[in-house]
A and B are shown apart, each in its own frame.
Chain A
Amino acid sequence: MTMPSTHLLIQTIILGLLVGGVYALMSSGLTLIFGVMRVINVAHGAFLVLAAYLTYWIFQFTELDPIVSIVFTAPVLFLIGWGVQRYILSRLENPERSSVLVTFAFAITMEGLMGTFWKTTFRSVKPEYVNEVIKFATYRIPVTRLIGFGAALVVLLILYIILQRTNLGRAIRATIQDRSAAQLVGVNVQAVSALTFGIGIATAAVGGSLLSMIYPFNASSQTDWITRVLSIIVLGGMGSLPGAFIAAIILGVSEQLTAVVFRLYWSPIVFYVALFLILIFRPQGLMGETVREKA
């Protein structure tokens, strides 16, 4: 354990905040889906990696900037997500119990297919600005991370506006609060669920496109990512968007700090330690209600 200098500490915190923003985006869809359907989409990590691969693919063929390719990846993944909920998950008899295994099955099937198709080599998208750094005072900020953070904030803002200002958003929030009551006042809960799933997966698509230029990935990275985003939403309180945001920032910063203070290879443990501590001391998460099935 080494105590870093103040300068390094601040530099690390800046990087942590930037990463935290991307984490927040990645976990926002997952927590939203849980809020509406009480379904934990274990395939979220696989969708992230799928989007990363699509971005990589588009970049290989057209040299299109990863940020621009979001325009393609997000709608495609929205449709996939919508279809998964509409045609598969909605048919489960007891979704709260069985959805985890079903989405897990999705995750490993997707991992297998992606591994077969794109092989196991680690990939990453390298646009021209991949190594560029912006100097701010004496701090160095990699451009890709800054762009990732900015894009994440924009999408989160859009998500926030959809939830607060549109009829769909009101229906989603009503369904989160009380599913049967929402149905009683005329919300088409099935349609809302499918749309929410679509939106949730579309945010994963954006997250995946950003991921593709920040981290190297291959098919089996999906397990890494799913544990990260799941830890974030458990820490934040499942179903709570603000909770996920705060938890993502906290974990992003702590992860970077662990890497500097201890060793890089200990940094993933931050997520698991946070997960277990929160379960012991505050099982409902930072901003959530109790993680228990409602009777």
Chain B
Amino acid sequence: MKQSLIFRNAWLFVALIVLLAYPQFQKNQYYQHVMIMTMMAAVLSSSWNILGGYAGYTSLGHAAFFGLGGYLVALAHNRYGWHPFVSTWFLAIIVTGVALILGWISLRTQGSAFVVVTIAMVFIFRLLALNLSGITNGARGLTQPRPGWGDVPWSPEFIKVPFHYIMLVLLCLTVFVSWRIRQSKFGLGLIAIREDEGKAEAVGINTMLYKVLAFGFSAYFVGVAGGIYSYFFTYIDPQFIFDVFTGVTMVLIALLGGRGTLWGPVLGAFIMEPLGNWIIGEFGGTQIHLTVFGGILLGVMLFMPQGILPTITNVIQQRAKARAAQVQS
């Protein structure tokens, strides 16, 4: 099935041009900020989708890898002066290694129990970050110098632009890898696991290996994003970066756009993230934000479990069918 029915290649091209030109015509810092966060949300959710969408294992704990990436990058920057824009790509490999081990343990469970274990992951990392204060500086968190290149910090007007482009690169890479996985034998195996794990195993798929690998892939891009994020905000602390809500947002975005589709998470991100920013701007405080996100998640689960993209695709296909039938008669 061609699921890119709506997003044909021309759309993709236009979207890319718009995103490339965005900081040139949008000089407002706030809107630049929202766009960076939106692209990051798309990265996180697309990455989550490799495990949660293709293989059907719902992780609510990907905030653990986000935070780990953030801490590794911040530490490497402060201690060894590694520039986050470079180091995050490599340090996320460590995050992936950790994810492979955690995946090997947690993927022994299925369904609900798996969800529970992944939530616990976030709390373990938060606790470690809080208490290993010799390394992480505990609850006081880590502060990085103001973003710049070499010894020259970027000017306040320019500062968002590099982040915009690195996030765009990461987004393209994530979607590209997600697309390659979907096209591959590996991706087919993951979908087989989602549909019926027992049967997938029976036809000779090494389900454990596939699942653990999917876990690793889906942790990598989240880790990279965490690294960039920690530099973007220049300050991280355990409560803030190891937040279960970050993981919930990834899931919500993927569910809203269309879980298991290539573009669903991206679409979801471009709806939810601006909405979230608007709510916080309008009402302030995170409590209303929490309520609204919970409510939307509930609504999606109950009334549109497939998500927007598959629902629209279905409608278009049915119309096309009806039209074909009309022409025939």
Show the binding face of A for B, using Cβ within 8 Å: 34, 38-40, 42, 88, 91-93, 96-102, 104-113, 115-116, 120, 219, 223, 226-227, 230-231, 234, 238, 263, 265-266, 268-269, 271-272, 275-276, 279-280, 283, 291-293, 295
For residues 66 through 102 of chain B, which have their beta carbon under 8 Å from a beta carbon of chain A? none
Chain B minimum-CB-distance residue to A231: B120
Report B-chain residues with C-beta under 8 Å of the C-beta of A93: 305
Show the binding face of B for A, using Cβ within 8 Å: 56, 58, 60, 105-106, 108-113, 115-117, 119-120, 123-124, 127, 130-131, 198, 244-245, 248, 251, 255, 285-295, 297-298, 301-302, 305
Chain B minimum-CB-distance residue to A39: B112
Report B-chain residues with C-beta under 8 Å of the C-beta of A100: 58, 111-112, 115-116
Q: A40-B112, A106-B298, A111-B290 are in contact. Are A275 and B127 (CB under 8 A)?
A: no
Q: Kindly provide the distance from the CB of A83 to the nearest chain B CB, expressed in whole angstroms.
A: 14
Q: A101-B255, A227-B119, A293-B110 are in contact. Are A115 and B58 (CB under 8 A)?
A: no
Q: A105-B298, A231-B120, A272-B124 are in contact. Are A113 and B291 (CB under 8 A)?
A: yes
Report A-chain residues with C-beta under 8 Å of the C-beta of B130: 265
Interface SS, A side: helix
Q: Which of A98, A223, A230 contacts B301 (CB 8 A)?
A: A98
Q: Which of A106, A265, A276 contacts B294 (CB 8 A)?
A: A106
A99–B111 alpha-carbon span in the complex (Å): 10
Pick the most buried of B110, B287, B292, B297: most chain A CB atoms within 10 A of its CB.
B287
Q: Are A101 and B106 in contact (CB under 8 A)?
A: no
A267–B34 alpha-carbon span in the complex (Å): 39
Chain A minimum-CB-distance residue to B104: A280
Q: Are B115 and A112 in contact (CB under 8 A)?
A: no
Q: A111-B290, A112-B292 are in contact. Are A268 and B301 (CB under 8 A)?
A: no
Q: Kindly provide the distance from the CB of B145 to the nearest chain A CB, expressed in whole angstroms.
A: 30
A107–B115 alpha-carbon span in the complex (Å): 14
Q: Are B295 and A269 in contact (CB under 8 A)?
A: no
Q: Kindly provide the distance from the CB of B260 to the nearest chain A CB, expressed in whole angstroms.
A: 13
Q: Which of B111, B286, B297, B302 contacts A88 (CB 8 A)?
A: B302
Report A-chain residues with C-beta under 8 Å of the C-beta of B288: 112, 116
Chain B minimum-CB-distance residue to A263: B131
Q: Which of A91, A226, A230, A291 contacts B110 (CB 8 A)?
A: A291
Q: Are B294 and A107 in contact (CB under 8 A)?
A: yes
Chain B minimum-CB-distance residue to A91: B302
Report B-chain residues with C-beta under 8 Å of the C-beta of A92: 301-302
Q: Are B123 and A102 in contact (CB under 8 A)?
A: no
A88–B301 alpha-carbon span in the complex (Å): 11
Which 6 A-B pairs rank lowest in CB-CB distance, beginning with the nearest? Answer: A112-B291, A109-B294, A112-B290, A115-B287, A108-B294, A105-B297
Q: Which of B113, B127, B298 contacts A40 (CB 8 A)?
A: B113
Report B-chain residues with C-beta under 8 Å of the C-beta of A116: 285, 287-288, 291
A186–B167 alpha-carbon span in the complex (Å): 59
A92–B198 alpha-carbon span in the complex (Å): 23
Q: Kindly provide the distance from the CB of B212 to the nearest chain A CB, expressed in whole angstroms.
A: 14
Q: Are B108 and A279 in contact (CB under 8 A)?
A: yes
| Complex A-B: 24 CB contacts under 8 Å | A38-B112, A39-B112, A92-B302, A93-B305, A96-B112, A100-B116, A101-B297, A104-B248, A105-B298, A108-B291, A108-B293, A109-B290, A109-B295, A115-B286, A115-B287, A116-B285, A227-B119, A230-B119, A268-B123, A269-B124, A275-B117, A279-B105, A283-B108, A293-B111
